[in-house]
Structure formats: C-alpha cells, structure tokens
Amino acid sequence: MTQEASPKPPAPTVTYLVKVGHASAPQTLEVHAAEGDIKPWDLDSKLHVVKGRQPRLDGPLKVTGRAKYTFDISMPGMLWGKMVRASVPAAEIVKIDTSKAEKLPGVKAVWTTEARAVRFAGQDVAAVAAISPEIAEDAVRLVEVTYDERPYVTDLQKAMEEGAPLVYNADQVPGSPKAPVKGNVVGPVVPRRGGQRGDVAKGLAEADVTVESTYYVPVHTHSPLETHGVIAKWEGDQLTIWASTQSMSTVREGMAEYLGIDRKNVTVITEHMGGGFGSKLAASAEGTNFSGVACKLAKQAGAPVKLMLDRHEEHLCTGNAPAALMTVRLGAKKDGTLTAIHHRSFGTAGIAGGAGTGGPSGNLYANTPNCLVEEHDVFTNAGPAAPLRAPGHSQGAFALESAMDELADKLGMDPLELRRKNESSPVRRIQYDIGAKAIGWERRNQKAGETSGPRKRGIGMANGNWYVFARGSGVGAEVKIHRDGSVEVFQGSQDIGTGFRTAMAMVVAEELGLQTRDVTPHVGDTRWPEGVGSGGSNTTNSVAPAVRLAAHDARTKLFAVAAPLLGAKAEDLDAAGGKIFVAATPSKSIAFRQAAAKMPNEVISAVAERKKQYETYRQDLAGTQFAEVEVDTETGNIRVLKVVSVNDCGIPINTLTTESQIIGAMIQGVSWALFENRILDRNVGTMVNPNLEAYKILSSKDMFEAVAIVSEIANAGNNTSAAGIGEPPIVPTLAAIANAVFNATGARVHTLPLTPDKVLAHINAARRA
Amino acid sequence: MKNFELARPSSLAQARELLADRPGAVFKAGGIDLLDHLKENLVVTPRLVDLKGVAGMRDIAPQPDGALRIGPLATLAEVAAHAGVRATHRALAQACGEAASPQIRNVATIGGNLLQRPRCWYYRQESYKCLKKGGDVCYAVGGENRYHAIFGGGPSYAVHPSNAAVPLVAMGAQLVLEGEKGPRTVAASDFFTGPSKDPERENQLQPGEVLTEIRVPAAAGWRSAYDDLRERAAFDWPLVAAATAVRVEGGLVKEARIVLGAVAPIPWRSVRAEQALIGKALDATSAAAAANAATVGAAPLSDNGYKVGLVQTLVRRTLLGLAS
Amino acid sequence: MAKPPNHDSPVSGVSRRTFLKTAGVGAAATSLIGAAPGAAGPTLLGPDAVPLALKINGAARTVTVEPRVTLLRALRNHLDLTGAKEICDRGACGGCTVMLDGKPIASCLMLAADAVGHEITTVEGLGTPEKMSAVQAAFVEADALQCGFCTPGFVVASTALLRQNPSPTLDQVKDGLAGNICRCGTYSRVFEAVLKAAKATPVAGRKA
C-alpha cells in the first residue's frame, strides 16, 4: 500500500489527453503513462459493462451455503489446533507444562512458545493439535502455565503518568522510534503527510475566534465474523495454507521466512473470506503467530492442521483500532476562514505503535495556512492494534469535525457554510450540494436543541478524507480465451467481500465486448499472477489496470484471428455486444464465439503486468456525510434515522457493490459511534467483554435509512481511472452522528461511544448550563 | 466444554433419580444458559439430566377463573405468542417477547429464563474467581460496573437477568417446586434471594428440586405493562426493566405493583412507588411521584448512577402507558 | 503420545451399570438414537460417541458424536453441511441459524442429541446455486451480502420469517432478523431483499 511517487524520468512514457473530473466540470489532463499502457477510461469513454449494477458472481454460492470459507474446509486426516493464551497482562513465564495434554488420547502435536515475557493477556503461550475440536479444547485446559506476574498498565491515561509500570524497558522499545521516548510515551511525531504548515501559534494569534476541545475514542475490535485462522498441509517440502486473510502474498512470504523455506514451496489459497477490515493483513495477526504455529503443528503431526481462533481470542490478539485522546485547537477569522489547526493526540495501540490520528487535521482543510499535527504513541499492556478501516482517520475526524462544529457554533455560522468556506477540494464542493439536498439540510435546527418534547431530532454533517493508494507495478493478471468462446481471468488477490472478483470479470467483459456472465473470474490463489494485499482501499485500483491490459492483449490477439475473416486490418476492429466489428463500418461483424472458433490454438493466453500509476485529477478521495438522529432526552437513547454518504472513488467498476461498501461503512461507523467499546478491567487488566454479547455490534433494529451516493470522478492515474472505496466512507461517520446529536439536543459529547449514560449526563449538564 | 453423559428421562421421578444417582449431575431444559455455562467451563458435570422428555411440563393453560398455569418447559416464544396470555397477562407476554432473539426464544424455556444465572461479565468468565463462583471478591466493586446493581447489592452486585421474572413478581405468581418431599409452592416474590444470604445463588431452589409449574393469578380489573431500556434496540440485555400493574376503580388507583428488573440481584419490587399511587388518579403527577419514589434508597456504584434516571423515566412512562 | 478414545473406559462402564441398576430401564446407548426424549422411555447417552438419527433437509442422516457435540458442530464437522457458521458460538450472532421444525434456532446452543426427532432445515436445504429459493435469489439481486459469512444465517432467518408472515412490514422484518449480526453492514440491503422476496412470491402456496 505504498503510494506511487511520480514516475522516474528515464522510463519511456506515452502521453494521453484525458477528460477528467466530475461530469459537471470536466477538465483535460495530460498524463504520461508507462510505455505499453493504454488510454485510461475517462468522461468520454462509452462503457457498456463498467459502472453498471452487477450482482456479485459468487452470490449464488454464498446465499446457498456452498461457498467454502477457510473455516469450512476439512480434509482427510485433518487435525484441529487450539492455542493457550496468556491469562495475565504482564509476567515472566516460569514454566509451561504440557505433559498432561500430551498424554490425552487424541492429541497428536504440541507447541510451546520460546518467549518468556508476557506483555498482554492473550499472548501466544502454547498450542495443541488433536483429532477433534472437542479433544483439542480438553487438551489446552490440561496445559499448566506458571507465571511470575509483573506490574502492568492497561489504561491510556494511567500509562502516561510518571512512574507507571513500563510496558517496555528503554532498550526493548520495538521498531526504531525516531521520536523521543519517555516512559511509555513515544512522541511527538509530526507526520510526513500534512503534518506541518506555517506557524500554528501565529495562526492562533491571528484568529478572531478559537476553540479547543479534547475528544476520546475507545478501542474498537475489528470483529470479522470469520475469525482468523488457517489450515496448513505439508506434502513433502510443499506447504499449502488455506488462510482467512486479506493478503495471501504476506502469508506466503511470512511463512516462508518464519519456516526458512523457499517462497516457491508455499501456496496460499483464499477462495472466500469472511471479513477482515484490516486485521488480516499480516502473515498471522499482530498479536499472535497462529499461522506459524499451525504449520509447525502440521509438520510435527504429519497431518494437516486446522487452527481457527475462537471469538474470545479474536478480540484479544488479532488487532484492534487504537484508543485515542485528542486535543484540537482551531483558529478562524470572523468570516470563518481558518487560520490555524493544531491536533495533538495520544493514542494507544497496546504493545504496538501506530496510534496516530492526525490524518484529517493535516489534510482535510489543506488551504489552512498554519497547521501542526503532533502524535504520540502510548504503550499499554493490551493487545496490539492493527489497521482498521481508514486507520486513525475516523478517530481523527471525530475530533477535527466535532471541533469544526464547535467553531461554527461559536461563530454563529452554519456548519456547512464553515466547511464550504475552507474547502480545498472541487469534488467535495459538488458533494456538499448533493448531500445537503439528500438529507434536507434546511430542516436542521437553527438553534441546537430547539425542538420541544423529550424526543428531539437533529441533523449534522462531517467530512472525511482519504488518499489514492495503488500498487504501481509487479501486479499481474492472465486472461484466457478458449476456442469455444469461454473466457477466464486469473488473478492472485483475494476477494474479502468487496466484490473484487466480480469487478475483475466486468473489466474483462468491457474490454472484450462481452457480458459479465461470459467471463469466469478466478481469484484467491497465489499460483496465479501476482496480487496485492487488500489494505488502503487499493485492491481494485491496483489490480484492475493489469486485468484490463491482459484483456486488451487477448483482444488484440483475437482481432488478429478475426481480421482476415472480416477483410479488415486488426487495428481497425472493435468489440461490443458480443461481436467483433470494423469500427468504421459496424455492420461488418462476426460473433465473438465465431471468431474464437477460428483460433489456431486451443487457447489465447495473455499475461500482463500493471504499469505504473501516473498523474491523477486528485490525489485525495473526497467524502462527506450527513446524518439525522432522534435523541430521547429522558433515556439518552439515540436513534439514527438517516445517513447520507457522498463519496468519490474514481470511476466505480461496479456501482452496485461500490454502494454496498459505502452503506457498510456507514453502518460500521454508526456501530462504533453508538455501541462499540473494548473494555479491559481497570484492576485486573483482562477484557470483560470478549464476545458478541457485551461487545455490541449494531443490530437490525438499530438500522437507519442508509443512502449511498457515488459522485463519479474520472481520475486517471491508471487505465481504469479506478480509486478506492472501502475505507473513505467510514471516516466522517463518528463526527456526523455526534454533530447531529448536538443539533438535536445542544449537548456535545466528546467521548465515544454515545451510550445512554454519557448522553444523559451531557444533556443534563447542558440543561443546567 | 468437558464431556458428559446425557440422561433422557420420561418422568419426573426418573429425572430426580437420574440426578441423585450421579453426584454433580445437573438438570437441563432448553439448555441455552446451561450450554453457555458448559462452554465457559463454569459448569463441569458428569451428567446432564434432560427434562424435556418429562410429560406435562410444557402446557400453557388459562384457567376458567382467568388464572394461568404455565409449564416451565414452554418456550419464551410460545408464552409471548399465546393468545390467552396476551389477553389476560400482557406484561408477561411482552417480557417474554422482548427477551434475547427470535432464535433463542424458540428454544429457551420460561423455566430456564427464571432460573438462569446472572449475565455479569465477571461471573461469566472462568478466569474471574468472583463471589458468585466461590471466590472472595466482587470484581464489580471498584471495577467495570456500568451494568450492575443500584439496589440490594452486596456483597456481590450482579443483577438478576430474567425478563419474565419481573412481571411474574408483579402479578403475584406462585412457583411450584417439586423435590424429595413432594411439591411445595413459593411466591415468586419470595423465590428469588439476594447475595447477602448466599452470593452463589439467586433463588431458593433446593438441590434435586424441579420447577414444575408457574401459576399466575387471575388479573381481572388489572392493567399491566412491561418495558425496558437498552443500549442496542435488539438483542441486548436491559439496562433497566419495569413491570407495572394497576387496578383502577372509580378513577382512582386501588392497587398497584411496580417491579424493576436489571437493577438489583433480584426482581426489585418498589412498595414505596406503589404506595405513591394508591388513592390517586393515574396521571402525570402521580406517575412522576411514583417514579421518584421508585429510586429512593438507590445506592449506585461508580459507573451505574445513570440507571437511577432511567428507572424514573421508565416507571413514569409505563404507568402513563397504562393510563391511556 | 496418542491413543484413540477408549470406548470401554471405566467411566462409561460404571455410569451405564449404575443407571441400569437405579433406573431399571435398559437403554441401549450404543444403538441408534432416533427419538426425542420421553418418547422411548429413559435413555442414557454417552459419554462416548453415540449414533444419532437426524432428519436434515428431508433426508435421514446418521451422525456418531459425543453428547457434548452441538448441532452446529455435528452439521459442520461430521456432515459437511458448512452453511451454518460458527461465529460467536454463544447464540449472540445468528450465524449458526437453522430451522428446527420450521422455526429458526441457534444451532450452537443446541446439543445434536436434542435435535433427534425434529426436522432440521439448513441453508443448503433451501436451494442450490443453480436453483435458488426466492429469498436466496433476492439476496443476490439486491446485493444483500458482502463477505457473505453471516449470509446463510440471514437467509434461514428470513425464510423462517416469511413462512410465518408472508407479507411483513419493514419493522417486522427488522424484528424477525433481530438475532442476526452482520459486520460488513448489509442490513438495509437484506431488508430490501426480504421485502422483494415477499412481493415476488404469491402468498398462496408460498414456500419462501
């Protein structure tokens, strides 16, 4: 998920003039694609399949229960793995006694950790493989672990205090932090992207109005419904791993390295995957090495081992979104023009780093002359964080966009007008109009909380920002046209539920002039052309250009077959509607299948590699959200009535599944805003709600009207003009809901989740004030 | 979950014999709460004695006088959907219909609902050796206690989890318990026991005893309602629950029952709140007075003071719902 | 290190003898168990694996499992019916939903032995990829799935709902699906699919 810098000068390029931007304000952009790349789809492209509403091709398998996820796969002789996890947050392991477990009939292999330091409750300690899951569960209870317990700290603010127990001694701090380390605190770090402009003190001094508030977002767990896990199977020196992963390539590389074997001897398969949201980008996961353990158990037992975590483990050690304590200071002129943004955050990613939240503050209002982002990581004795759907950005936007609302209130300005005043993106300007109309912005309370009665309605909005991430080269695809006219596409990335598989078939169909159903996509196997890890909303825009190139090459080869049949030159042909025809005289045509039947060989195979990313219309992805809520001011219950999300993802390949992702992000965001909270006991340091009963995820009866609007932007950058959509629509949601609650009640809640206890307390406080 | 043998008797006598025969054996009905306990290793037993094959324990039988007799093996879904219950004892149907989820209500029995153990997150994890598991500390005290008791707590503070118990206590239900010495009848209001007596139990069911029938008196002239407040709109345990029942004569409240759920280790009857209504017209003023009276004596822990306000709102609203 | 489970372990032997003595009824724990409790007098199953006769998707299936094995694990690990998912394993997510005599239940909170004598319908019994049920087809058409892991549970719960109430309102759909959690966020499209399936199928003779 590295962002491509502009191409290095020596590489030969081809220049295209591209019609980019929103259809209402088209612009011409000169781009310099790598030699061999084809002209990107743009506003002038006549697309027949792409941008359509295609139900996903794997839908029938999934709705009938036939799709086999990693969790569903079994094979002859397979054993069941189960892990023992640290029960205390900090300790030295004195002894691990597995003798009783080894003696249990049905147990075939045992693993124990070599690590001795326990830094969080949930860390890997031991594992067994047995002939049934029930026996494996019996066996782990027979493993006896002796701990020498140590002082620990699990609370963000307590960990920052002087004299707090140290998660790491000074010489043990992981990574190579360039920032100062003091106790458990690393920082401040000023992020490279947007972290510093001008002089924030000067900007605040120049302001007519300033606001400053501190916001807190607790830890959320990813809670994918398919837990993390693998099946590891050895055949000689060949290792096959069925993995519930977002990044098969990382699993392959990680296991080859861990086991000291050649990468070529490792195959990873992820046919269907039950959700990840960022937690499944590692070879195992941030807080556990279950893949490596499964491989070792399988080797030891001489049998395939399936090791799927249970729900309790999933909460403890597979990653989470860091808690964040954020102070935002804004300065503005009377007319609302921002003079300064100062974002100072302390976040805890448990025993890991990476808890920064300054992305929105540094990049959203890019015209603000003075900006400073200072991020701190605070170590705690808790499971390490992992990227979670726009890492740090939903938290950061909660702080910034709540502060913007507070500023608007102080200025006596419409919050939307304040945003317009400071907007730097032409795309978001268009989105404001679309979103405001869809929610009925004019219906909002002019004065917060002004409606009578105990149940009060309000409307709020917030912005989110994201970036165009795309892997520029090394990604491959293969397209095959068979002599019977059937078409396949092969690609070594995984479909994590985004509809990626279907989108690839659509790209091939578009290029070959076919229908989507004419193309069979094969994804989820590392033996196919190199794929990408699905992180940073980069899968479609990294892979689709390679797929399009491969399809284009296959088409060129097929045109060579068709040209003599049509008495024309291959370069004069085009394909659409299941036909190949002479572009100038479309009546001269031949059916795709007829042309294929004349192929000299059984199959046309075209393999292509993605070309580098190049100039785009925008490097940022704009999004804005509007929310309407009803707050019961006597119970503190919030009912979300409607959320409108307007998002840019370049040219959407499949509008249906693109909308689904936007809807899903809104729902997950509302769930975070209202309910979700990983709770570690303040005295014992272990999680009290490691389940789906007390770790609460939004239910059907909490649902609201979810309106997803794709504001299509021809963005260039690659030959499909695609950008990403998985993450951006969750960035604004927390703030949009909090701002709507303020508009409804006049109470500003700075701490999530917005549960009745907090909402009631703030309403009562606002009433007293 | 440790393995066990599964005994399937067809009569109560067999069931009791199969239980007595094997030390540590436990009864099972729908099995919802029991499987949770087994999976968390909170119950480790050599034998489950399944009561579902025992005849005559599943009927819902409205009596000629308007009373109800409910077999404890009737599922929550059956009680909630039963036309007779809905007609005469609406609050009970509501409470059963609001519990858990459709999938759970189709299997969970009303008997099991009354006898289930608390949902306290410390009790529910093996690793916390709390008072309810024979340990010597209630982790909620000074710990994560936002969902714990504001009434009747100490030494442990888990709240009673049963939705159905709340209206049953309000309606003056009787429970028939059958043990070694034959059947005995206990008022629902006496059946549930607080932690001061014995924090490891929530009721006075004796070893080997089986709940065989729930008897709910006729409710002619009464109006009743159950409601609760939750974080999630569905599939969540109540933060507070209330069953209210009133008998109004000549425009004035003659009798009232106000029982609260999810706020105490037992279904919590508020006599003070009831008294605030007697002799008054049921209106906004008397409802508010009862609501305030309902929280007199509340003793919140560090993080659950918000429940006081919720109780007041809920009592007031359910009473006003009965007035209209 | 490993021995196969001992079917003549003293534990089970004692238990059976004790039972025979005290209850005086000769239940054969090693013969096929095919009736619900109560129907065939007292029986004692296990603790070793017991053959159970189950009726699944209209077909008779036999599965030999220990009494502690849940219906969910019997389906998934012993009968290769993996449509129902093990997600929370505590009845808190609906991913394991199957129908028992037409009613949706959480198969993770039911012992396989307790399903004997009942009709079990899993998502596989509702349709095939080639011949989907009305509900399944509506899910695909409305894109009421993303990762799809919760989807079988939603499909079964939706089917049960429509069989009970062929023309539900939106609120009734939400009530009917209140026991199912989706993490990708497909709820609104699921509602759309269920309402569409309700409309698509004439009420009379509907099989959902």
Digit-coded pLDDT (tens) for A427-482: 999 999 999 999 999 999 999 999 899 999 999 999 999 999 988 889 999 999 99
Residues of C whose CB is below 8 A from B102: 104, 157, 160, 175-176, 178-179
Segment C4-24 mean pLDDT = 36
User: DSSP labels for C5-25?
Assistant: --TT-HHHHHHHHHHHHHH--
B234 vs A759, B106, C168, CA distance in Å?
Answer: 19, 16, 18
Burial, C18: exposed, middle or buried (Cβ in 10 Å; 0-12, 13-18, 19+)? middle
ipTM score of complex? 0.97
Closest CB to C179 among B53, B54, B104:
B104
**Number of CB pairs, chain B paired with chain C, less than 8 A apart:** 141
Asked whether the predicted pLDDT for residue A52 surpasses 80, the reply is: yes
Contact assignment for C42 to B6 by CB distance below 8 Å: no
Round the average pLDDT of chain C to a whole number and report it.
Answer: 86
pLDDT of residue C39: 72
State the best of C66, C141, C143 to mutate against chain A, taking most chain A CBs within 10 Å. Answer: C143
Q: For A352-376, what is the mean pLDDT? A: 97
pLDDT for C2 equals 40
Q: What are the start-end ranges of the H helices in A162-306? A: 200-206, 248-259, 290-301
User: Which residue of A688, A699, A752 is the best one to mutate when testing the B interface, meaning the one whose CB has the most B CBs within 10 A?
Assistant: A688
Q: Is the pLDDT at C10 greater than 90, yes or no?
A: no
Task: Establish if C104 touches chain B: CB-CB under 8 angstroms.
Answer: yes
Q: Which residue of C has its CA nearest to B55?
A: C38
pLDDT of residue C52: 97
pLDDT digits (tens, 9 = 90+) for C87-101: 999 999 999 999 999
Residue B235, pLDDT > 50, answer: yes
And the tokens for A139? 């066996």
Beta strands A266-269 and A238-243 are: parallel
Answer with the residue of higher pLDDT: A768 or A209. Answer: A209
Nearest to A60 among C85, C124, C129 (CB): C129
* Span B64-108, pLDDT tens digits: 999 999 999 999 999 999 999 999 999 999 999 999 999 999 999
Task: Give per-residue pLDDT as tens, A648-665.
Answer: 999 999 999 999 999 999
pLDDT at C16 over 70: no
Q: pLDDT at position C173, please?
A: 98
Angle at Cα A210 formed by Cα A207 and Cα A211, nearest 5°? 160
Q: Could you report the per-residue pLDDT of B25-45, keeping only the tens digit for each?
A: 999 999 999 999 999 999 999
Contacts of C9 in chain B (CB under 8 A): none
Paired with A589 in beta bridges are A581
Average pLDDT value for residue range A239-258: 98
Mean pLDDT confidence for B240-256: 97
Q: What is the pLDDT of residue B154?
A: 96
Residues B5, C90: C-beta atoms closer than 8 Å: no
Lowest-pLDDT range of B119-123, C2-6, C9-13 = C9-13
State yes or no: pLDDT of C8 exceeds 50: no
Structure tokens at C198: 């309700």
B8–C22: do the CB atoms touch at under 8 Å? Answer: no
Whether C41 has its CB under 8 Å from any CB of chain B: the answer is: yes
The residue of chain C with its CA nearest to that of B20 is C22
CB proximity A106 to B under 8 Å: no
Predicted TM-score (pTM) of the model is 0.96
Using pLDDT thresholds of 50, 70 and 90, give the confidence band for residue A171: confident
- What tokens were used for A302? 């001489």
pLDDT at C9: 32
B104–C39 CB contact, under 8 Å: no
Sheet arrangement for strand A579-582:
A573-576, A579-582, A589-591
C163-180 pLDDT, tens per residue? Answer: 999 999 999 999 999 999
Binding-face residues of C in 168-197 toward A, CB within 8 A = 173-175, 177-178, 180-191
**For position A478, what pLDDT does the model report?**
98
Q: Is A55 on the interface with C (CB under 8 A)?
A: yes
Distance CA A103, CA A111 (A): 14
Average pLDDT over residues B259-265: 98
Confidence of residue A74 (pLDDT cuts 50, 70, 90): very high
Position C26 scores a pLDDT of 41
**pLDDT tens profile A283-307:** 999 999 999 999 999 999 999 999 9
Collapsing DSSP to helix, strand or coil, A719 comes out as coil
The residue among A274, A286, A358 whose CA lies nearest residue A320 is A286
CB count in 10 Å sphere of residue A601 = 9
Write down the pLDDT at residue A8: 56
Q: Is the pLDDT of residue C4 over 70?
A: no
Inform me whether the pLDDT recorded for C185 exceeds 90.
yes
Q: Decide if A290 touches C, using CB distance below 8 A.
A: no
pLDDT in the model for residue A9: 59
Tell me if chain A has a CB within 8 Å of the CB of C98: no
| Percent of the residues in chain C that have a pLDDT greater than 70, as a whole number | 82
| Residue C202, pLDDT score | 62
CA–CA gap between residue A128 and residue A586 (Å, rounded):
67
C69 contact residues in A (CB cutoff 8 A): 134
For residue A7, the model assigns a pLDDT of 53
CB-based contact (8 Å) between A58 and chain C? yes
Output the average pLDDT for chain A: 96
Q: Which of A87, A684, A699 sits opposite B234 (nearest CB)?
A: A699
